[in-house]
Amino acid sequence: MPLQPHHDGSATYVPEQEPTLGQRVPVFVRVPAGADVRQVHVRTTGDGEPRFAEAVVDRTDGGDVWWRAEVEVRNPVSNYRFMLSGAGGHRWLNAAGLVAHDVPDNGDFKLVSYAPPPAWARDAVIYQIFPDRFARSAAADTRTAPNWAIPCDWDTPVVGHGPATPRQFYGGDLDGITERLDHLSRLGVNTLYLTPIFPARSNHRYDAASFDTIDPLLGGDAALARLADAVRARGWRLLGDITSNHTGDAHQWFTAAVSDVTAPERELYYFDSSGDYESWNGVKSLPKLNWGSAELRRRFATAEDSLLRRWLRPPYALDGWRVDVANMTGRRGADAYTHEVARLLREVVADTRPDGLLLAEHGHDHTGDLDRDGWHGTMNYVGFTDPVWSWLRHGEGPVPNFLGTPGGVCRRDADAVLATMNTYRSLISWRSYTHSWQLLGSHDSARIRTVVGDAARQEVAAGLLATMPGTPVIFAGDELGLTGTNGEGSRTPMPWHRPQSWDRATFAAYRGLLALRRDEPALRHGGLRWVHADADTLVFLREAPTGSVLVLARRAAGAPLRLAGLPAGENAYGGAPALRPDADGTVTLPADGPTFQVWRLS
């Protein structure tokens, strides 16, 4: 894979990262020496009409020719692509890459003039906590388990499937999290994301019975305030989890709605003439909210005392929300309120807390829901998690996939993995891509250790998590090598009292990779240029004005890899030798595997 002409949305290629409507923004294309490019035009589609403007040579750097053009931010989302002309005719360079055939506009590069996501999110490293299973404070022993619960001690195996799964109750609480923040500090995270903490009738709490208070089983409002204070004292951020698609059937809104057909709460849900109601995927304990209701919009978002505002304010001052089932929110039959809801929630979050984050859960194709004035990003399961799983999975049997694909995740080589990643990345702006969450698993999926089978491949997966664009998210316990075959089975209590069971080498790998990300601006803010892919190998560059790094990921051993056009470099992670170009200008990457290596380039 020779180095190709390249452009992405990072600051190296688009110096203006927060364009405004009407602004003319310079954009750059990097053309390697020897490429058949004699002329470059930028094609824009402002107001829906294609226009071409000729680019000029800006500079020559190390044999590469840098072409410059200008794009007018004519619309809130302004598309552009490049036409590269040479002796062999012209080719298009868009966000999907270089092609010699005509392609539709949806894969073009995009400049977005809506207000940008909060600046802190670019440097976030997020740790996801399922509160019932993370840690118990001493106060947890004084609380009586509710009547829906099956009380468990901390070593009781997680059932993983069947009617008991939402009822297993381990009693983790918020003060328990506060007491374990030193572990997270050693790991290197700087943001906590808590799955729901409102009262409910399940251990996952996605069936909220109220949005007005924190579950007393977790320590109540005061415990959240204590946790928030402790997190802020470390300079970290704290994110909550809100269900905009449904409530629980014990929620006071719903109990009022079912008890009186004239109640104002009736319009908050979908009832038919028989009195039956719509629910999430037919689960009757999760009645679906009707966003056609002005009263719902008021209670949920716009009122001064709305649930969205209350928890963003002191003393809790959450730094934002992960929105559960955002892909289904506002969608039902002919009702299509999703984008209205996303815009409304973002307006309210920004009005209440200007640096608040609004992140959408989306389990499949999220590309049509981003780049508007709504969600800042999404949980990138389809563009990161699934392709990484399919490349690094072990064994020949099916690997469970929380998305419900029959047969689970199939095995794929790196070229197919790269095609999947590039397809989803190319259909959204660089801004939305880099502010989406990259994750190796969550409370809704199998554990990464179970998928890949061993510590060596998990290190490769964690390496991709730490070095690719986007916000890395670690599910609590992955850093210790915990296992789980599905979402329920992965909600494993943290083995604090059994340190001998920890995979300390995996913890050290995560810690080292997160430290590398923290220390290398290119890994947080740089562009992404693919260098090589074969069945077992991925090689890419992360490039920033401050410097560049080269990343090698191998799932298995193979032949040494010789690459041209790269400078010398010192190893920054993995222990491989330094890169030194041969007399013919090539560098040789090691052949062992599985391995993950990173070099700082000269």
- Residue 9 CA to residue 46 CA, distance in Å, equals 18
Residues 162, 582: Cα–Cα separation, whole Å: 60
Q: Which of 72, 173, 249, 361 is catalytic?
A: 361
Side-chain half-sphere exposure of 178, counting CA atoms within 13 A: 19
Give 195-234 as a 3 state SS string.
CCCCCCCCCCCCCCCCCCCCCHHHCHHHHHHHHHHHHHHC
Neighbours of 187 (CB within 10 A): 18
CB–CB of 134/140 below 8 Å? no
- Asked if 85 and 39 count as a contact pair (C-beta separation under 8 A), the reply is yes
Residue 361 designated active-site:
yes
**Counting Cβ atoms within 10 Å, is residue 393 exposed (0-12), middle (13-18) or buried (19+)?**
buried
- Are the C-beta atoms of residues 392 and 411 closer than 8 Å to each other? no
Q: Rounded to 5 degrees, what angle do the CA atoms 111, 1, 419 make?
A: 55
How far apart CA 166 and CA 91 sit, in angstroms, is 54
| Cα-only R_g, the chain | 25
Peptide linkage before 2 cis (omega within 30 of 0): no
Active-site option among 72, 278, 324, 488 = 324
**Could you say which DSSP state residue 428 is in?**
S
The whole-angstrom separation of Cα 579 and Cα 543 is 17
Alpha carbons within 13 A on the beta-carbon side of 223? 24
- Residue 436: closest CA among 351, 300, 326, 597: 326
Element (H, E) at 184: helix 181-187
CA torsion through residues 107, 109, 115, 121, sign: positive
Q: Tally Cβ neighbours within 10 Å of residue 276.
A: 10
Q: 181 and 193 in contact (C-beta within 8 Å)? A: no
> Contact 441/448 with Cβ under 8 angstroms?
yes
Is 179 in the active site? Answer: no
CA 84/CA 93 separation, integer angstroms: 7
Residue with tokens 């927060």: 18
Packing angle, helices 455-467 and 504-519, rounded to 10 = 20
Four-CA torsion 148, 152, 156, 162, nearest 10 degrees: 0
Distance CA 391, CA 485 (A): 18
**Burial per residue of 317-326, b for 16 or more beta-carbon CB atoms within 10 angstroms, e otherwise:** bbbbbbbbbb
570 CB neighbour count, 10 Å cutoff: 11
Q: Which residues are catalytic?
A: 324, 361
